Amino acid sequence: PMEAEAEARLLLQEAQESIEAARSYRRELQQRLRGLQQARQQIRESATLTRDVLEQHFSDLKGTLKKLLDERLVSLLQEVDAIEQESIKPLDECQKLIEHGISTADDLLREGESAVHGDAGQQNEKLCNFTKKALHIQLDSLPEVPSLVDVPCLSAQLDDGLLTILKDQIFRHGTVASRPPVQLEEFVEKPGGILVRWCKVDDDFVPQDYRLQYRKSAASHFEDVYVGSETEFIVLHIDPNVDYQFRVCARGDGRQEWSPWSVPQIGRTTLVPHEWTAGLEGYSLSSRRNIALRNDSQSCGVLYSKAPTYSCGQTLTFRIETVGQPDRRDSLGVCVEQQNGSDSLQRDKAVCISTNGAVFVNGKEMTNQLPAVTSGSTVTFDMEVVQLGPCGNEGGNFKLRVTISSNNREVVFDWVLDQCCGSLYFGCSFSYPGWKVLVF
């Protein structure tokens, strides 16, 4: 009986495992079926969109071509009218002279016939007057009439080769691609932004520029956010926990037209944007509080972040928009806590870089130095936990591996703290006005 009961339990277990495997198999098949349906939907929707684009384009092309042909026809007809009028005008003037001469000759003939057949008593006087009048009219002077070879003979010269040229161009106009030459590859969350990466998927395509667009919702229009030769871009001013749709295309080397768009993909960030603390005298902030400008105020101090929003594993980036006069006490970096009485991050529980490139850890300057920051410089901080000691009221060993990069150079060191720090403040201090820094 015990063996039978054990065998029954084993069979029941195997049956339950088979049932679970069947459920898992069904879920996997259903997921693949949904993938197939999405692929089929993408093909049909893209085919429908492509048909609409082609029909609209060729309809516009036909309308434009008809308009151009009509304008050209009107221009040529106006040219014919102008030549006709210009050529007929001297002929009309000549005709008036001839008609006037014929009228004069008719009058002269009637007068001459009257003088010849008139009364004999007055005949001599009439003949004398007629002869003088005839001499005065100069009957041997005739207006010149141009020969047919000297007057314009209008004709139209129409090159039938235009149809051949148009035919060849039209037959080569437009292409249909089954897939775009570039595709979106990766989305990396950033505080208040998304790092978008893309790659080329057509080996025969030689890109010159890329064009990245995004939109906040499907109802809005795509807008350009980047055009250039790089294959990644950080899109800022992104609201956290909101879906954004991205797409990218490329322009071939030496070409003017853009390639088809990539398949749109959804990206989002769950990280709240970094913000500077508002209200500190000496610094003016942008509307989003991610750009700080050292103003002309004589007050100096450290401008901290609004909250400890930098966490290990993330990349903190400072971009210098404009520069002012440097000072050895200037600083850009992170710290464990705010100290409102300090005028620099070159102090305990902080790591920073000065505008001259010097690196400070807990207030001590390191031997290694980075290049001095200039306008457009980007300074990044990357940190990871390498040792986590006991954390209690008495504190413990907490070691962070810090990497500071600037102008294609970097320094790496371990930052030992006496307390656990899940998140850190960032800050900056500048002694002189003119410095403007963006944080993301």
Which fold would CATH assign to domain 182-269?
Answer: Immunoglobulin-like (2.60.40)
For residues 348-364, give the mean pLDDT. 95
Confidence grade of residue 297 (pLDDT, cut at 50, 70, 90): confident
pTM, to two decimals: 0.61
What contacts 155, CB < 8 A, 6 or more positions away? none
On average, the pLDDT of the chain sits at 89
Radius of gyration of the chain (CA): 46
* Domain ranges for the chain: 20-154, 182-269, 283-439
Segment 111-139 mean pLDDT:
74
**pLDDT tens-digit map of 367-402:** 999 999 999 999 999 999 887 655 544 445 788 999
Domain covering 283-439 assigned CATH 2.60.120.920 in the classification: yes
What are the pLDDT digits (tens) for 12-66?
Answer: 999 999 999 999 999 999 999 999 998 899 889 889 988 998 999 999 999 999 9
Average pLDDT of the segment spanning 290-315: 91
